[in-house]
Homo-oligomer: A and B are copies of this chain.
Amino acid sequence: MELSCKTEYALLALVELATHHNTGTPLQIRQIATEQDIPDRYLEQLLATLRRAGVVKSQRGAKGGYLLAREPWKITLWDIISSIEGLDSPQQSVDENPKSAESTVVAEVWQEARHAAESVLQRYTLQDLTEKRDARQQRNIMYYI
């Protein structure tokens, strides 16, 4: 239920990639890390996960770095979070423990709640986040006048 540090790092990093997306040049781990104040060796792992999930792509070697795999408006927050959270549900273990009627009902309701949150996260894209951030910064500038 709580926003884990891990997920927040991933989101912040991708917002950073989204803002530099129009340049076409890759962003390096180090740059993202210093910009968003994330431990770089940790961020490296998160980006690796996101790459394997097909959210970002990487360019190895000198002058390498990371790029978004798709346009910012084609990446939803749910894409990111489900990738990083790893709800792979690896084995649909056909175990024969017949869940009680109570368990089944609880699971159904929980599923409904999770789906509600999921659909909110599906509605937001990286593009939306950068726009919301820019709008917020504009407002903050207004306050200073």
Contacts and interface: CB of A to CB of B under 8 A. Distances in A.
Total copies of this chain within the assembly? 2
A130 to B, nearest CB: 9
B120 A105 contact: no
A101 B3 contact: no
A100 B116 CA distance: 28
Contact of A106 (B2, B108, B129): B129
Nearest to A124: B109
18 contacts: A1-B87, A2-B87, A3-B107, A3-B110, A8-B103, A8-B106, A15-B102, A15-B105, A37-B100, A77-B109, A101-B136, A101-B137, A108-B132, A109-B120, A109-B121, A109-B124, A114-B117, A116-B120
